[in-house]
Amino acid sequence: MKGVRFAITTVLLAVALAGCASTRNTLFVEADDAVRDADYSRALQIVESNQDRMYTSRDGVLFYLDTGMLLHYDGEYRESTERLEEAERLIEEYFTRSISQAAATFLINDAMRDYGGEDFEDIYLNVFKALNFLGEGRTESALVEARRINIKLNLLEDKYQSLAAGYARAEEADGPEIRPGENRFYNSALARYVSLVLNRAEGNADGVRIDWQFVQEAFRQQSNLYDFPLPLDESTARMPADSRLSVLAFAGRSPVKLAQTLWILTGDNMVTIIYAEEDERLGRIPQGLASFYFPGVEGGYRFKFELPRLHPRGSEVTHIRVVADGRVLGEVEMLENMEEIALDTYRIKEPIVFIKTVTRTLVKSLVGARAGQAMRQAGSESGTAIGMIAGILGSIATEIVLDASEQADLRVSRYFPAYAYVGEWDLPAGEYEIDVEYYRGGQLLYVDRLGRVPVSPRSPNLLSSYLAR
């Protein structure tokens, strides 16, 4: 009877968890719809009033990232900065902890730990902190944030080398060598451009020259990430004769995470990984890890597991134009494919996540399989129908618990953009009514009315706009 009670309790718990997830998803859909309609106050109200239902105690980074971005779009710059700073602090704290505890936590599913943020979140939050400070007129603080991005990029691959070394010290790490993927993103044209505009406003010619060189190098040396024309020319690095209006427009939304289902097939001391063909679009098995030696593994088992994969959402916006006092100044052009950079930086940690997940699945599933076999055998040996049923149900319940503990960690922030666009125009000093128009083909999707804006010499005159479509 204990086996029956255990099985029933397990199933009821699974149903309850599914109900909680359904409520959370409904609330996120409501918030996302508000963001799509550019009603950021409404989205923020939904998120903040339902924090306990939409975020767990392990989702602090997510809450601060989501609300920090919504506050930025809503023009609440100071509070946005406070939220993004708290997210940044927690990201650093959790990563430092993950290195020190790597060996001890090797078999713990990431979904059961504090969410530590993705690299693109940690990088781009500084862009929006810089824009927040700029919105408050704090140019020097904005420059500091732009520089922090480049510091983080320089350390990106090194930090995963340290994490991989920590995991390699775990007793269970008997499989292939744990090592990160290659970092191919080390220079953000977006961050350099923001720094350039700020230095230009300060009259710092050397700073402008250096930033302009780095913008050009980003396109020239990272053509896999910047596979479109450089939208700026040499005039960007020259001080304007009068005043220059600079516009950054952001469109779309950053990638989501989807679960890719894979199977482990065991041979004696050997592991082979396969996945369904329809899941191949979510990502391939890291090179050299489709089949590998794993000492101590018995042959004849087949176990399912999930991997989190970043999946792009893109944008329906095809072009964006800027209007001043009813006169079309021109269109902004792509400066940074933030979505592609999110995908690319995620690949650095994918091999680590892969090996960790496979090892954890093997250890837990082998133990679970043996426990299930023991339950069925005990039920069979009991000689009673109830005993046999209890053994079977207990075995099934064990499989349910194992499946639940091996679900992919699909947490990721929701409100970073997918693309960044830029445009610059020299204008006589004065005030202008600025509109940013977003189009899909010939259809006008949305007009972001930025209001009456002063444009003056020796000022950044950098405006930003966003549409989550």
Q: Model confidence over 87-123: pLDDT tens digits?
A: 999 999 999 888 777 666 777 888 889 999 999 999 9
What 3-state class would DSSP assign to 330? strand
What is the DSSP track for 56-81?
-TT-HHHHHHHHHHHHHHTT-HHHHH
Note down the domain range covering 73.
2-467
Tokens encoding 8: 């029933």
As a whole number of angstroms, the distance between CA 179 and CA 177 comes to 6
97 closest CA partner among 114, 112, 111: 114
pLDDT of residue 17: 46
As a whole number of angstroms, the distance between CA 206 and CA 370 comes to 68
Strand 243-251 to strand 462-467: parallel, antiparallel, or no bridges (unpaired)?
parallel
Confidence of residue 159 (pLDDT cuts 50, 70, 90): confident
Q: Model confidence over 274-293: pLDDT tens digits?
A: 876 556 666 777 766 788 88
pLDDT of residue 468: 96
- Residues 422, 231: contact at Cβ < 8 Å? yes
Number of domains in the chain: 1
- With both helix axes pointing from N to C terminus, report the angle between 119-135 and 139-168 in degrees, rounded to the nearest 10: 170
**DSSP 8-state secondary structure symbol assigned to residue 284:** P
Q: Model confidence over 220-265: pLDDT tens digits?
A: 999 999 999 999 999 999 999 899 999 999 999 999 999 999 999 9
Tokens encoding 62: 């997510």
Summary mean pLDDT of the chain: 87
Q: Model confidence over 429-444: pLDDT tens digits?
A: 999 999 999 999 999 9
pLDDT of residue 280: 61
Query: pTM value?
Result: 0.86
Cα–Cα distances in angstroms (integers) from residue 355 to residues 116, 169, 264, 283, in the given order? 19, 14, 12, 15
Least confident residue range of 112-121, 328-337, 357-366, 454-463:
357-366
- With both helix axes pointing from N to C terminus, report the angle between 60-73 and 40-49 in degrees, rounded to the nearest 10: 160
Residue 378 has pLDDT above 60, yes or no: no
Q: Which residues of 108-118 are buried (b: 16+ CB within 10 A; e: fewer)?
A: ebbbeebbbbb
Please indicate whether residue 70 or residue 179 has the higher confidence score (pLDDT).
70
What type of residue is 197? V
